[in-house]
Amino acid sequence: MKKYFLLIFTICITLVTFAQKQKSRATLEAEKKRNLQKIAQVKKILSETQKEKESTIGQIKAINQQIENQQNKIELAKEDIELIKVEMAEIEKAQADLFKQLKSLQTEYSETIYRESKNSNKLTKMGFLFSSSSVSELFMRYKYLEQYTENRKHQLLQIKKIGEMLKQRQRTLLEKKITQQNLINIVKIEAKSLEALKEKQNLIVKDLNNKESDLKTELEKSNAALSSLNSVISKAIEKEQNARKVLTTKKVPESRKEKQAEIEEREKKILSERENKKNSKAEVIAEKTENKASRVGNHNFGAQKAKLSWPVDGFVSDKFGVKNHPVLKGLKVDNNGIDIQASPNAAVRAVFEGVVLDISQIPGLNNVVAIQHGDYYTVYANLQNVNVSINQQVNLQQQIGTVAYKDGSPEINFQIWHNFSKLNPEPWLGSK
């Protein structure tokens, strides 16, 4: 009985370990799938936009993203190889444990058959039964023979089950070895593709370095445009917040007597509504809340981190914050948001419902739309055209314009502000 318990325990541990590894396997496969989607999207947009032979900053940004995705692909493949090594080691250990259990059961079964063959020469089953001294003893001997037969059947069943599990482990192990070898070959192929991308990157950088003077002029214009954008949005937010303060001030009663009268009047109204209709207070509160949310476009924007829809279908070509210029050595560039490259004339959509706070035209960034979501604001810069108007209520994913060209590629600059603080938009965007 102890051997059977040990066998069941071993099988359970094997299954639990397998389930845990499957979870790691599922996570890895999901990451590989997302990375392949990124690679496909960059290739698609590049094929649609980079038809001109002239090198551009937008092109080098896209190539840089391709290199990053390709490096991720290789790293994920290497992780897969390491995970397979762990899986193979566990399969081999489980296989050894099962083989040990099988040998033990086979030995035990052989001993049982041997004992039975020796006893069969001395006394038959019928003789064993009818040699009982009483009916009670006859019954006990019968139950013993019945249990003995069942035990033999159970032994055979366990031997067969373990044998099948061993065969399955051997098949799985072989499949893992084949998969591992295929991944090793894939890493070699992808490494060559990565080298080709880096060579292409070097050629574009070399070509752009010959236009250093032009690039510096463009960088100055770009910095001026971003400074203008920062000023326009800050002023629009300040104006809106001042207007809110004025509105709040006007609503405050001028004297205590007026305030007390207003409170008494409100209490009378509430009592009257309670008498006329059940649950009227809850309905009034719900209606006021809904109207307020609709008016300021709040709708709990702060709880939408990692859930926001993308403003345009594309890939992040320039990240948030300060980093080295992609071509000019020794120069830094700062981004208050993220740049997203997209297909030509791609629709730009509101990432969340809100109210249009401001629409401006800024040289170098074309049209800019700012949408208010309570104390949060989203900014969509470099739009070719605009489909909304100031103070207009916009819905989630409502089109507000189309993407314009910047640095030789269709690209928007997307920002998220919390009052006057600029946030990194990337962690706020959900999966596509």
Smallest CA-to-CA distance from 322 within 309, 313, 331, 335 is with 335
13 Cβ contact partners less than 8 Å away, ≥ 6 residues apart: none
Would you say residue 378 lies in a domain? yes
Note whether residue 227 is domain-resident. no
* Domain enclosing residue 283, as ranges: 241-298
pLDDT band with cut points at 50, 70 and 90 for residue 93 = confident
CATH number of the domain within which 380 lies: 2.70.70.10
Q: State how far the Cα of 111 lies from the Cα of 117, in Å rounded to an integer.
A: 10
What total number of domains does the chain contain?
3
Give the max Cα distance, the chain.
116
- Residue-wise over 253-283: b if at least 16 C-beta within 10 A, else e? eeeeeeeeeeeeeeeeeeeeeeeeeeeeeee
If asked whether residues 142 and 188 sit together in one domain, one would say yes
The residues, ordered by sequence, that sit 6+ positions from 293 with a Cβ below 8 Å of its Cβ are 299
Output 361 or 251, whichever has higher pLDDT: 361
In this prediction, residue 289 carries a pLDDT of: 38
What DSSP element (H or E) covers 406?
A: strand 405-406
pLDDT band at 373; cut points 50, 70, 90: very high
Asked whether residue 341 carries a pLDDT value surpassing 50, the answer given is: yes
Choose the final residue of a domain: 164, 187, 209.
209
Instruction: State the pLDDT confidence band at 67, using cuts at 50, 70 and 90.
Output: very high
Mean pLDDT on 171-189: 88
Name the DSSP class of 352: S
DSSP state of 426: G
CB 58 within 8 A of CB 341: yes
Given 155, 185, 209, the domain boundary residue is 209
Report how far residue 316's alpha carbon sits from residue 65's, in angstroms, rounded to the nearest whole number. Answer: 8
Closest CA to 218 of 330, 316, 336, 364: 364
Whether 232 is covered by a domain: the verdict is no
- Which of 273, 292, 293, 289 has its CA nearest to residue 281? 273
Residue 185 is which amino acid? N
The reply to whether 140 and 200 lie within a common domain is yes
Q: Is residue 356 in some structural domain?
A: yes
Only one residue has tokens 């969509």, namely: 380
* Same domain membership, residue 10 and residue 115: yes
What local confidence, expressed as pLDDT, does residue 297 receive? 45
234 or 51, higher pLDDT: 234
Do 350 and 278 belong to one domain? no
pTM of the shown model = 0.67
- The number of beta carbons lying within 10 Å of the beta carbon of residue 63 is 23
Distance CA 51, CA 69 (A): 22
Q: Does residue 286 sit in the same domain as residue 315? A: no
CA contacts within 13 A on the Cβ side of 275: 6
- Residue 138: pLDDT over 70: no
The structure tokens 């998969």 sit at 179
Question: Is residue 48's pLDDT more than 70?
Answer: yes
pLDDT of residue 199: 92
> Which two three-digit tokens encode residue 399?
């089109």
Domain-embedded: residue 398? yes
Looking at the fold, whether 289 and 314 belong to one and the same domain comes out as: no
Residue 220 lies in a domain: no
* Rounded distance between C-alpha atoms, residue 369 and residue 234, angstroms: 13
- When mean pLDDT is compared over 205-209, 241-245, 392-396, the highest value belongs to 392-396
Asked whether residue 299 carries a pLDDT value surpassing 60, the answer given is no
> What is the model's pLDDT at position 214?
87
In a domain, 156, yes or no: yes
